[in-house]
C-alpha cells in the first residue's frame, strides 16, 4: 500500500508539472500572438498617420515607424544568426544597449503624437530626427554586418564543397588521366648502342673494349703486316725458257 501510495503521489505531481508546462507554453504562445497582432496594428496605424496627417504630427509618426522597423529587423537578424554563429553574442549585447535607447525614443515619440502644441513639436523635431537617425544607422550597421558574416561563411563553405566535389569527380574518372611512366622501369632499361663509324677518317673509328682473346688474335696479323714475304729479283739477261721440242 505504501508503494502504491508513493506511485500515486509521483504520478500526481508529474501530471501537475506537465499541466503547468503546457499551460505556460500555451500562454506564451497566446501572448506572442497578441503581441504580434498588436505590433502589426500599430505599424499600420503609424503608416496611415504618416500618410494622412500633415505637418509635425505626421513626421513624428514617420520617425517612430522607421525606428520600430529598423530595430525589429536587426533583432530578428541577430537572434537568427545566434543559432549558427556563437560570436554574435557581443553584437547582441551591443544591440541590447542600443535597444534601451530605442525604447526610450519610441516612448517619447508616442507621447508627442498627441501633443497639441504644434509649434513646440516643430522645434523639437530636428533633435528627434537626429536621434532617430543615429539609432537606426547603428542598428542597420549591426544587421548588415551579421548578414555579411553569414554570407561569407556560406561562400567559404560553398567553395570548399565545390573543391571537394571536383576532386571526387576526378577520382571517379581516373581512367581519363594519363598514367605516369614507371621510373624503376626506365632506370632498368639497357643503355643505347653507340653510333656506327663513318666511312672515312681514322678519328671516327669505333673502338671496343679490349679483351685477352681479341689481343692474341690480332698479334699475328700485325706481325705479318710489318714483315711482308720476300720476292725474288729478276735480271735483264735472264731469258724466258723456251718450251722443249720433240725433235
pLDDT computed for residue 14 by the predictor: 85
C-alpha span between 208 and 193 (Å, rounded):
12
Q: And the C-alpha cell for 29?
A: 504562445
- What's the CA gap between 232 and 2, in Å, rounded? 154
pLDDT grade for 247, boundaries at 50, 70 and 90: very low
Distance CA 140, CA 43 (A): 19
Best mean pLDDT range from 105-119, 128-142, 173-187, 222-236 = 128-142
CB neighbours of 113 closer than 8 A, spacing ≥ 6?
49, 57, 60, 61, 64
Please write the tens of the pLDDT for every residue from 46-101. 777 777 677 787 888 889 889 999 999 999 888 888 877 777 888 889 999 999 99
Higher-confidence residue of 224 and 11: namely 11
Per-residue pLDDT for 223 more than 50?
no
Mean predicted lDDT score pLDDT of the chain: 75
Cα separation of 40 and 38, whole Å? 5
Instruction: Please tell me the distance from the alpha carbon of residue 142 to that of residue 134, in angstroms, as a whole number.
Output: 13
User: Distance (Å, rounded) from C-alpha 140 to C-alpha 153?
Assistant: 20
Query: pLDDT-derived band of residue 27, with 50, 70 and 90 as boundaries?
Result: confident
Of the chain, the end-to-end C-alpha distance in Å amounts to 177
Amino acid at each position: 500500500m505504501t508503494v502504491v501510495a508513493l506511485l500515486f503521489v509521483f504520478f500526481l505531481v508529474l501530471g501537475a508539472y506537465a499541466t503547468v508546462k503546457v499551460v505556460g507554453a500555451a500562454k506564451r504562445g497566446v501572448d506572442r500572438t497578441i503581441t504580434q497582432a498588436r505590433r502589426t496594428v500599430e505599424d499600420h496605424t503609424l503608416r496611415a498617420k504618416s500618410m494622412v496627417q500633415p505637418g509635425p504630427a505626421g513626421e513624428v509618426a514617420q520617425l517612430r515607424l522607421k525606428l520600430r522597423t529598423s530595430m525589429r529587423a536587426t533583432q530578428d537578424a541577430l537572434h537568427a544568426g545566434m543559432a549558427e554563429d556563437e560570436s554574435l553574442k557581443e553584437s547582441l549585447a551591443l544591440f541590447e544597449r542600443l535597444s534601451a535607447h530605442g525604447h526610450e525614443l519610441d516612448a517619447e515619440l508616442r507621447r508627442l503624437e498627441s501633443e497639441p502644441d504644434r509649434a513646440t513639436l516643430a522645434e523639437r523635431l530636428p533633435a528627434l530626427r537626429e536621434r532617430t537617425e543615429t539609432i537606426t544607422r547603428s542598428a542597420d550597421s549591426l544587421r548588415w554586418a551579421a548578414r555579411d558574416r553569414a554570407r561569407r561563411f556560406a561562400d567559404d563553405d560553398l567553395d570548399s564543397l565545390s573543391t571537394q566535389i571536383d576532386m571526387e569527380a576526378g577520382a571517379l574518372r581516373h581512367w581519363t588521366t594519363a598514367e605516369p611512366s614507371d621510373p624503376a622501369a626506365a632506370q632498368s632499361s639497357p643503355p643505347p648502342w653507340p653510333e656506327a663509324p663513318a666511312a672515312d677518317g681514322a678519328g671516327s673509328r669505333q673502338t671496343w673494349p679490349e679483351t685477352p682473346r681479341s689481343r692474341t688474335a690480332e698479334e699475328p696479323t700485325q706481325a705479318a703486316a710489318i714483315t711482308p714475304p720476300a720476292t725474288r729479283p729478276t735480271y735483264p739477261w735472264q731469258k724466258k725458257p723456251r718450251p722443249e721440242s720433240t725433235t
